[in-house]
Amino acid sequence: MIFLENEHIKASFSTKGAELQSLKNKKTDKEYMWSGDAGYWGKFSPILFPIVGGLKNNTYFLGGVAYELPRHGFARDHEFEILKLNESEVIFNFQQNDQTLKAYPFEFSLSIHYELSGAELRCNYIVKNTGNVPLLFSIGGHPAFATPTENDLNYTDYFLEFNHDSELTYHKIKQDLIDERTETIKLERNRLPLNHELFYDDALVFKGLKSDRISLKNIKNPRGLHFSFTDFPFFGIWGAKNANFLCLEPWYGIADGINHNQNLEEKEGIIELEPLKEWNHHWKVEPF
């Protein structure tokens, strides 16, 4: 485990998957990350790469050849190297290997840069194309934040507050694929009240959020967090069935649509990065 700490917050990470596993407010010693209880969902904050979501039949085609990738790709299952580490920041790195090349025939460097700044934790995704052909990839976050139910606090006491949305139009996921049909939720005061039933059919997937900050709050105490993200074209919100956590997921990429032809070059949201070029984007979380 890797630990970062400043006067406001402290965080810990695993080298497997460069996964954020703990985020605490030092003044209150309250934990803001999900516990990773495998009875519900045994992860904390996996990195989704080189795809986000599922592929149709777990298969894509590239140059007429069929390749298989599991839902959300493989980065979360591999050990990362540490390129830099001090009290307030760590940079993890993962590159292609013989195993990944069989399923994903690209050369790449994936770095995950975590940095504490005041009361915020910033997560920056840095992708470099180290090969000599265009790199096709998607990437996304999947952090799971705790919604504890102690002291007469229930899951239904929590809500999400969107800084620029008064209604939410979302796609449902059907057998790991994106349903083209949409549904809309009208928000009162830009707030989405939480209940477990929201996620019984998997995540809510958004393609056109106006907001760049979503706050997780509750009606009974002042504890919560601000989750900020910029220019991510897709966003997912999810919780495991009847579990007391909520995932806020900024994505550069999305699961295949039900009618997708499975060609990777034509996959919705796919990023094409030219040889020797670098791509980076970040999200931030501020617990309070």
In this predicted model, what pLDDT tens digit does every residue of 16-25 receive, in sequence order? 999 999 999 9
**Residue 259 maps to which CATH number?**
2.70.98.10
In this predicted model, what pLDDT tens digit does every residue of 242-276 receive, in sequence order? 999 999 999 999 999 999 999 999 999 999 999 99
Give the pairing of strands 108-117 and 139-140. Answer: unpaired
pLDDT, average across residues 44-57: 98
Number of structural domains (the chain) is 1
Mean pLDDT of the chain: 97
Query: Residue 286 has which token pair?
Result: 């501020």
Whole-number pLDDT of residue 151: 85
What's the whole-model pTM score? 0.96
Whole-number pLDDT of residue 117: 97
In this predicted model, what pLDDT tens digit does every residue of 136-188 receive, in sequence order? 999 999 999 999 998 889 999 999 999 999 999 999 999 999 999 999 999 99
pLDDT band at 109 (very low <50, low <70, confident <90, very high): very high
pLDDT band at 214 (very low <50, low <70, confident <90, very high): very high
The residue range of the domain holding 181 is 2-287
For residue 232, give the amino acid letter.
F
Which contacts of 96-101 are long-range, i.e. CB under 8 A and separated by 24 or more positions? Answer: 100/74
